[in-house]
Amino acid sequence: SGTTKDQSGPSSKKRRMQEKPDRKKLNILMENTFSILDNLRTMPTDESEIDAFWIGHPVPEMIKEKYNNKKDNSGTQDLNGSILPSDDEEGEEYHDDDNAKNEPIKNDTKIPIVLRLHEHKRVFSECWLSLLKLPMTLDSYKKILLIMHKKIIPHMLQPLLLMDFLTDSYNAGGVVSLLALNGLFTLIHEHNLDYPDFYKKLYGLFDRNLMHVKYRSRFFRLVDLFLASTHLPVQLIAAFIKRMSRLSLTSPPHGIVILIPMIYNLMKRHPGCMQLIHRSNTNNHGIVSESNDPYNFDEKDPMESGAINSSLWEIKTLQDHYYPNVATLAKIFEEQFTKPSYNLEDFLDHTYKTIFETEIKRSTKRMNNKNSNNKSPALAFEKPKYLFPFYTNNINNNDDMWKMWEF
């Protein structure tokens, strides 16, 4: 016969399901879907906020009820308690359906799905959970983690469904782990997620690359929040303090000016860690070094690192740092702890560029100040007589050419 085979049969669908999807098309789908979801700026938090529609209101009677509740004596109630519109309300703009003007509102009126907050959250959750299953680029991964705690979790019907995604991100390491911190802590703090290895993983994020990442400021803001509780064990806080002090030895100046105030604030908040600055880990020759330090930097478990038995000899080393601001900050530990805690926001945004610009402006200001007694910095032990001092031994006193290069 001339009939063709139906291409939409079960075998054809099964064949299409077995075909590997095009990775490029999936990336385009993911990018477009993320762009749409990210632009949702007016997600309702209460059913009363669901009041704007592209077409007419799905239940015009609800508009009349809302309008009448705002006016005194604007309508009367029938024996069943339903609100009836008054005569002077007919023809108002809030009536979307002329046939429903004079109809009483029934108490058993079923609320449409579009007016239910639960349904909005359900669809929102399904969209995000489906999106997170798609393969995504690293840039998209970072963008999603950046908005997770503000735009996604508050509107999820069951936020704990994001647990697997966030824990996998937290265990990934690097920048991804830093960005997953905020969302994971939100689940722990606000939705009672049990994640016992949270501080152990957080401790592992303090490595030598930390002070060079883009999201360094965001990370330390969160760390200050995570370690704020006074109920945390002293051994745990001591491990974080010791690890930060060890990292300060290899960190750039703009990273050290974050670590020292953070250490100072932690010691003010947890007085049990004061023993770290009163103990001296010296060998038989009175020398402090990493070799005779009981702290194990390579230990992944902060409770087993031995930090509580160590000392902050690294801070003593920083007191001779070449950058004056670092040396001044490090000397604060030799004074009594009467100074208020530092405001970390004053240190988080420092970079090589900001430090360089500060020093350049300071030098320019000093040189432009005529009343200042400060002299220009010395460039040599003694002032040379000629521009080319290497050849001065062969100069003839009668040679007029060399007199041209004399200072």
| pLDDT at residue 26 greater than cutoff 90 | no
| pLDDT at residue 276 greater than cutoff 70 | yes
- Indicate the residue among 111, 133, 151 that finishes a domain: 111
- Indicate the residue among 352, 367, 382 that finishes a domain: 352
Single out the residue of 349, 339, 348, 341 nearest to residue 228, CA to CA. 341
Amino acid present at 66: K
> Is 148 domain-assigned?
no
Model pLDDT, residue 64: 55
Model pLDDT, residue 42: 80
Residue 183 and residue 332 in one domain: yes
| pLDDT at residue 290 greater than cutoff 80 | no
For residues 208-227, give the mean pLDDT.
Answer: 90
| pLDDT at residue 68 greater than cutoff 50 | yes
For residues 353-379, give the mean pLDDT.
Answer: 69
Confidence of residue 126 (pLDDT cuts 50, 70, 90): very high
Residue 178 and residue 246 in one domain: yes
> What percent of the chain has a predicted confidence (pLDDT) above 70?
68
> Is 357 domain-assigned?
no
Largest CA distance in the chain: 127
- Residues forming beta bridges with residue 386, ordered by sequence position: 406
> Is 214 domain-assigned?
yes
Residue 211 and residue 82 in one domain: no
Model pLDDT, residue 329: 93
Model pLDDT, residue 95: 43
| pLDDT at residue 404 greater than cutoff 90 | no
| pLDDT at residue 89 greater than cutoff 60 | no
Residue 106 and residue 181 in one domain: no
Position with higher pLDDT, 88 vs 7: 7
Confidence of residue 66 (pLDDT cuts 50, 70, 90): low
Position with higher pLDDT, 24 vs 290: 24
For residue range 128-183, what is the model confidence (pLDDT) as tens digits? 999 998 888 889 999 999 999 999 999 999 999 999 999 999 988 888 999 999 99
Q: How many domains does the chain have?
A: 2
Residue 243 and residue 342 in one domain: yes
Amino acid present at 53: F
Model pLDDT, residue 312: 92
> Is 129 domain-assigned?
no
For residue range 191-207, what is the model confidence (pLDDT) as tens digits? 999 888 899 999 999 99
Residue 258 and residue 177 in one domain: yes
Model pLDDT, residue 91: 39
Confidence of residue 107 (pLDDT cuts 50, 70, 90): very low
For residues 103-123, give the mean pLDDT.
Answer: 71
| SS3 labels along the chain | CCCCCCCCCHHHHHHHHHCCCCHHHHHHHHHHHHHHHHCCCCCCCCHHHCCCCCCCCCCHHHHHHHHHHCCCCCEEECCCCCEEECHHHCCCCCCCCHHHCCCCCCCCCCCCHHHCHHHHHHHHHHHHHHHHCCCCCHHHHHHHHHHHHHHHHHHCCCHHHHHHHHHHHHHCCHHHHHHHHHHHHHHHHHCCCCCCCHHHHHHHCCCCCHHHCCCHHHHHHHHHHHCCCCCCCHHHHHHHHHHHHHHCCCCCHHHHHHHHHHHHHHHHHCHHHHHHHHCCCCCCCCCCCHHHCCCCCCCCCHHHCCHHHCCCHHHHHHCCCCCHHHHHHHHHHHCCCCCCCCCHHHCCCCCHHHHHHHHHHHHHHHHHCCCCCCCCCCCCCCCCCECCHHHHHHCCCCCHHHHCCEC
> Is 90 domain-assigned?
yes
Domain that includes residue 240, residue range? 162-352
- Indicate the residue among 330, 352, 374 that finishes a domain: 352
For residues 9-26, give the mean pLDDT.
Answer: 65
> Is 52 domain-assigned?
no
Residue 229 and residue 315 in one domain: yes
Residue 92 and residue 180 in one domain: no
> Is 139 domain-assigned?
no
Residue 261 and residue 345 in one domain: yes
Residue 204 and residue 294 in one domain: yes
Position with higher pLDDT, 16 vs 90: 16
Rounded to the nearest integer, the mean pLDDT of the chain is 78
For residues 40-66, give the mean pLDDT.
Answer: 70
Residue 196 and residue 79 in one domain: no
For residues 207-224, give the mean pLDDT.
Answer: 90
Single out the residue of 263, 219, 261 nearest to residue 238, CA to CA. 263
Position with higher pLDDT, 239 vs 401: 239
Residue 207 and residue 99 in one domain: no
Model pLDDT, residue 174: 85
**Residues contacting residue 109 through CB under 8 Å, at least 6 positions apart:** 59, 61
For residue range 236-265, what is the model confidence (pLDDT) as tens digits? 999 999 999 999 999 999 999 999 999 999
> Is 146 domain-assigned?
no
